[in-house]
Amino acid sequence: MIHRIWWRIAWRNLWRSRRRTLLTASALAFGFVASVLMIGYMDGIVEEMVANGTRVVTGQVRIHAEGYEPERSIHDTMGGREGLDVEALLAAVETRNGVVGAAPRLYGGGLLSSGDETVGGVLVGVDPAREAAVSRFASALVEGRMPAPGEIAMGDGMAETVAVGMGDEVVLVAPAADGSTGNDLFTVSGIFSVGVGALDDSYALLEMGSLAELMAMDPGRIHEVAIAVEDIREPEPAAAAIREAVAGIAPGLRTEPWSIFQDQLYFMVNYVGAVNVYVAAFIFGMAAFGVANAMLLATFERRREFAVVRALGTPGGAIGRIVVYEGLLLGLISLGAGVLLAAPLMVYIHENPIDLSRYVGTYSFAGSAVRPLLTVEYSWAGPLASGLALVATGIVSALLPAWRAVRVPPADALANR
C-alpha cells in the first residue's frame, strides 16, 4: 500500500524535468535499438553461416561407422563389410521428430578424364530423390539434372577443368573395395555451383548404384547418412533422438551433430555469441554512465526534498527506493520507445536486406559460403536480452544516486549547505 506512494513520487519526479527524462530515455532507447539490430545482424550472419555450412553438403546431423573419420577409408562402411538394411535405417531416422530428411551416401575418390584433361575428385554416390531434402546440390544445378544410373553431375569448376559440358562423356577411374581399380564411362547430366570453391572444383555426384558398382561394393554398404533437421542452430536434441533410434539397427554407428563435425563453425558461432554479449555490455555500459550522470544531477537538485521527507520520518531505505524506482521506470519507458523504434527497423531490414557482395564479393569460411548481406534475423533472444539489459541499466544507474540520496544529511540540506 505504502509502496504505491513511492512509485507515484518516482513517476512524477521523472516528468518534472521532461526534457532531461526524454533525452536520457532516448539515449537508452537508441542503445536498445543498436543492441537489438547488432545482435540481429550477427545472428543473421551466424544463421547464414550455419545454413551454408550444413545445408550445402553435410546436413546438420550425420551417421557414420565408428572409426570412419578421420581416415574416411572406403572399407569403413556402416554395418561393417556386410553393410546394413539401408531402408530400415533411413525409416528409423526419418520418423524422428524434428527430422526433415535423410540421404544415404557412398564416398570414393577418383580421376575424371575427358580428352587430354584429368582432374582428381571426390565421388559421391547419392540417392537423388532423397538428396534434395538434405543438400543444395539439386537446387544449385545451373544446368541439367541430378544423375541417373550411368550419369554424373559435377561442380562447375571441375567441369571447366576437364572442359566438359552437358551430354559430354567422362572416364572415371577409382580404387575399388576389392583391391582392383574400377573404371567406366559416364555422361554429364548436370553441372552445379554451390558457391563453395572447394566443392565446385572437386565434387562429382553419381547415382548410388553406379558408384557402388564402380567401387565393387555391395548395395547395402554406405559410408554416411546425412540428415537435415528443423532446428539447424540446435541440432543436439534431434541427434540424441536419432542416436537412440538407430542403436538397434547396426552396431558401431556414430551419430554426430554439426557442432562436432563442423567444429570451426561451432567455434565461430560461439565466438559471435560471446562478442554479442561484450558489445551489448559496452553499449549499455556507456548508456549507464550517461543515465547515472543525469540521475546524479537530478538527485543533487532534490537534496532539499530528500531532507524534507527524511524530516517527516521516511526511512532512508524508502528514499533510496524512490530513486531506484525512477531508474526502473526510466528503463521501462526507454524499453517501450526502443521497441517502437526497433520493431519496424528490424522488419524493414529483414525484408529488404542490403546485399554488399557487389562491394566485397563472396567468400567461404569453415566450408561455408558467406554472402555479405546486411540483414537481421528475427529472434526473441536478442530483443529479450537487450530489454533485460536496458532495464537493468536503468536500475544499476540509479544505485549510486540512490545511495547519495539516502546519505543526504537532512539538517545541512535544509539549510542549503
Q: Which residues bind another protein (CB under 8 A)?
A: 1-2, 5, 8-9, 12-13, 16, 304-305, 307-316, 409-412, 414-415
Give the nearer residue to another protein in terms of CB position, either 256 or 326.
Answer: 326
Give the nearer residue to another protein in terms of CB position, either 213 or 326.
Answer: 326
User: Are the C-beta atoms of residues 335 and 391 closer than 8 Å to each other?
Assistant: yes
The C-alpha atoms of residue 37 and residue 35 are separated, in whole angstroms, by 6
Own/partner long-range contacts of 296-303 (Cβ < 8 Å, ≥24 apart): 296/400, 296/401, 296/404, 297/20, 298/13, 298/17, 298/20, 298/326, 298/401, 299/323, 299/401, 299/402, 299/404, 299/405, 300/404, 302/13, 302/405, 303/408, 303/413
- Write down the least CB distance from residue 12 to another protein, Å: 4
Give the nearer residue to another protein in terms of CB position, either 81 or 304.
Answer: 304
Instruction: Kindly give, in sequence order, each residue whose CB lies less than 8 Å from that of residue 31, ignoring residues fewer than 6 positions away.
Output: 283, 284, 286, 287, 338, 390, 393
- Write down the least CB distance from residue 336 to another protein, Å: 21
Q: What is the CA radius of gyration of the chain?
A: 31
Residue 329 backbone phi and psi in degrees, to 5: -65, -40
The C-alpha atoms of residue 153 and residue 203 are separated, in whole angstroms, by 9
The C-alpha atoms of residue 361 and residue 358 are separated, in whole angstroms, by 6
User: Are the C-beta atoms of residues 287 and 391 closer than 8 Å to each other?
Assistant: no
Residue in the structure block whose three cell numbers are 554429364? 188
- Write down the least CB distance from residue 406 to another protein, Å: 10
User: Hey, which residues does 336 pair with through a beta bridge?
Assistant: none
- Write down the least CB distance from residue 305 to another protein, Å: 6
Give the nearer residue to another protein in terms of CB position, either 179 or 317.
Answer: 317
Sign of the CA dihedral with 284 first, then 290, 293, and 295 last: negative
Give the nearer residue to another protein in terms of CB position, either 248 or 313.
Answer: 313
- Write down the least CB distance from residue 275 to another protein, Å: 43
Give the nearer residue to another protein in terms of CB position, either 17 or 26.
Answer: 17
- Write down the least CB distance from residue 399 to another protein, Å: 19
Give the nearer residue to another protein in terms of CB position, either 5 or 148.
Answer: 5
Give the nearer residue to another protein in terms of CB position, either 55 or 310.
Answer: 310
User: Are the C-beta atoms of residues 212 and 221 closer than 8 Å to each other?
Assistant: yes
- Write down the least CB distance from residue 413 to another protein, Å: 9
- Write down the least CB distance from residue 238 to another protein, Å: 57
Instruction: Kindly give, in sequence order, each residue whose CB lies less than 8 Å from that of residue 365, ignoring residues fewer than 6 positions away.
Output: 49, 264, 268
